[in-house]
Amino acid sequence: MVQTTQGFVYFVAGFETDETFGMMKVGFATDWRQRISNLQTALPFNLEILGVYPGTRDDEKRVHRLLKADHVKREWFRFSDAVEDLIYDLQDAATLLEWEHGEDYKPSLVECLDYQEAGRAMDEAFSAFNSSPVAAPPSL
């Protein structure tokens, strides 16, 4: 069943030490500020907001599937290199989409994921092209 309730998919990280993240939560809420405030009250460590994007519960589940290798429990994930890469890629995609559409534009999570995946596919194709041998031109 497709869950189309509009809200926000948020990414928050909990500090393991003063300088490194230990875990990241990917969640969905219609009022993300209240949800993060409630989480912060219940947790013994500080949370840092890494991103908030318009989206649905299905969008949240898509991210959970992308990060399944780092899944710990429920909506919590180890803050691995792959998780960090996804966060940076989403932030970059959001910035580029805002540039394309104007600074007041707030791209959805799906737009950012699709943009990020298209960019990654182009990078892989470009890399493969650059590593393939170049045929010599025919002699005249």
What integer best gives the mean pLDDT of the chain?
85
* Whether pLDDT at 71 is above 90: yes
- Tokens linked to 54: 């318009």
Q: Computed from CA positions of residues 54, 31, 56, 60, in that sequence, does the dihedral angle turn out positive or negative?
A: positive
pTM: 0.80
Residue ranges of domains in the chain: 7-130
Q: How confident is the model at residue 132 (pLDDT cuts 50, 70, 90)?
A: low
The mean per-residue pLDDT over the stretch 93-107 comes to 91
CB of 27 closer than 8 Å to CB of 60: yes
pLDDT for res 127 = 61
Q: What is the mean pLDDT of residues 27-46?
A: 92
pLDDT, tens digit, 9 for 90 and up, residues 76-98: 999 899 999 999 999 999 999 99
The dihedral region occupied by 102, where left means phi > 0, alpha psi between -120 and 50, and beta the remainder, is: left
Strand order in the sheet with 7-15: 47-55, 7-15, 21-29, 76-78, 71-73
Rounded CA-CA distance 52/26 in Å is 10
pLDDT at 63 over 70: yes
Does pLDDT of 55 surpass 60? yes
Give yes or no for residue 102 having a pLDDT over 60: yes
Tell me, what's the pLDDT at 134?
58
Tens digit of pLDDT for each residue in 11-24?
Answer: 999 876 665 568 89
| Strands 7-15 and 21-29, sheet pairing | antiparallel
